Structure 1
């Protein structure tokens, strides 16, 4: 009783005319629901929820974990006051939310958190289902790398960050050497194995922050946030090294040519790609199985 009484005094609710003494009032719950209904995009709905939490609680950060990834907002690492709550549908956990607070929650604050968490359940579930469908639409059906649409979206985002915050990034354009000969000699089924093996090589070679795409046919692209020419070169070397070690690619004596460039002030989507493509052409002209910078 002492803890309840102290909390009521602290939160100035002891003499409140509002009969609802738990977490959110009915009016507040309705307002939150309206805000959460504003989008079905995962990033946007997560931002809306994060703002609602920040407005009502001393929240440092929020991490939403789900089967295919996670979304992190704020600075969760700042706090040791952690509250982990699952989102459950049909007896199955479909997401886990990790809330990080700047102080220990009072009983009323804990009730507010539980109410907000409950209200977020169905908007989050719908957003995750939409996210899953969208991710499938952005994947190459054969290699499971990003497709050309995903490349375009990612490039636009990186260009925007570069212009706004000066965050540079690199681009590698990769073309398989003599891939047509594999298709002509062994058939498209074997050619598909070569493409899938190349995708595995790219996944092995890149950092966690990097992105790989099948641009079309036997051409691939990699976007490398926070890179520089030295890092670009090391990744290109890793790609060619892993290609030599891959059993399927080694069997067909497959190699690749790589063109590299870095974002430069004033670049557009086209100017950046054309510069990397020019470097790729130079690598092809230089005898293939090499790496050139533009």
Structure 2
């Protein structure tokens, strides 16, 4: 008689779970207790509906899956986002499931497993996936709405509100893991003259192209923001001593090589600093802002001398 695989404490994040007995998980008993299973699925659904945070949702879901299946990792991927369950590790093979609501594709849910999934396990997963669908759809919609609320509409970079959140998170992470965070603030020199001479549509093109310059000059792990107007910011996490100088050099070189921005003789000023352990978000920002101010003053003095 085939029985479900019971979690044997290989997935360390959920070692404290109390698993069901082998007798209660026999295939005959599973199908014989449909009323109990229906109550159970309603209970799972209620727990999944307690959050709109996708990471928390996957954790709640994973706790239920571990009662029935031994897996090493869980991954969700949709057209707009990718999520990995904390504690996931590489397994011998992967099993992927498509998640759909009324033919609407939500994404794929992938399990890292070290042994094949039995038909009984497959049926259990299918039942749990049905519980996950609508809470996941709502969480994705909420995530997309929050992303839009955190984005600058013109450039697609993060806005000031998102910057404040990310800077706080990055500094907390750096203090916890004893890593370095760099902050770069920048603005465009004489951008107002471009707007006044060529019009705001051209100014918008210049801002969008400068955002592309920033994207091409930083790592995927760095975060870019536009505060409005011609003010920009970069948060560099897990930085080393040379990170700020390298990024500044890349921005200036990419700016020089860009045909559109070279046409309008666009330049920028950059102020940069590293976080100290005594910093708050306000003191770190103020120091970077002072650095930017000094750079702009030096440029003005050079232009005056010339």
Q: Same fold (TM over 0.5)?
A: yes
2:117 is the counterpart of 1:121: no
Partner of 1:142: 154
Unaligned runs of 5+ in 1: 289-294
For the Cα contact (< 8 Å) 2:73–2:85, is it kept in 1? yes
**How far off is 1:234 after superposition?**
1.0
TM-score by length of 2: 0.84
**Given the superposition, is the C-alpha separation of residues 60 and 142 from structure 1 closer, same or farther in structure 2, using an over 3 Å criterion?**
same
Q: Which of 270, 275, 279 is matched with 1:263 structurally?
A: 275
Residue by residue over 1:118-161, the C-alpha shift from the partner in whole angstroms, topping out at 9 and shown as x without a partner, is 21111111111111111111111111111111111111211221
In structure 1, how many angstroms separate the alpha carbons of the residues matched to 2:166 and 2:58? 19
2:37 maps to 1:25 = yes
1:106 matches 2:118: yes
Of 85-94 and 248-257, the range deviating more from structure 2: 85-94
Deviations 1:56-108 (A, max 9, x none): 42222111111112111135451023110011133232211111124333333
Return the alpha-carbon distance in structure 1 between the equivalents of residues 61 and 205 of structure 2. 44
* Cα distance change, pair 153–244 in 1 and its aligned pair in 2 (3 A): same
Corresponding residue to 1:62 among 62, 74, 77:
74
Rounded to whole Å, the distance in 2 between the matches of 1:17 and 1:254 is 73
Partner in structure 1 of residue 203 of structure 2 = 191
Task: Give the aligned CA root-mean-square deviation in angstroms.
Answer: 2.4
Distance 1:141 1:105 in 2: 45
CA distance in 1, matches of 2:98, 2:125: 13
Q: Is the 8 A contact 1:229 1:261 kept in 2?
A: no
**Number of corresponding residues:** 283
**With structure 1 as the length reference, what TM-score do the two structures score?**
0.88
Structure 2 counterpart of 1:81 = 93
Please say if residues 259 and 276 of structure 1, whose CA atoms lie closer than 8 Å, have aligned partners that are also in contact: yes
Q: Secondary structure of 2:50's partner? A: coil
Deviation at 1:44, TM superposition (A): 2.4
Instruction: Tell me if structure 2 keeps the 8 A contact 1:43–1:71.
Output: yes
List runs of 5+ in structure 2 lacking aligned partners.
Answer: 7-21, 301-306
Q: 1:178 to 1:41 in 2, by over 3 A?
A: same
C-alpha distance in structure 2 between counterparts of 1:71 and 1:9, whole Å: 25
- Distance, in Å, in 1 between the alignment partners of 2:270 and 2:192 is 17
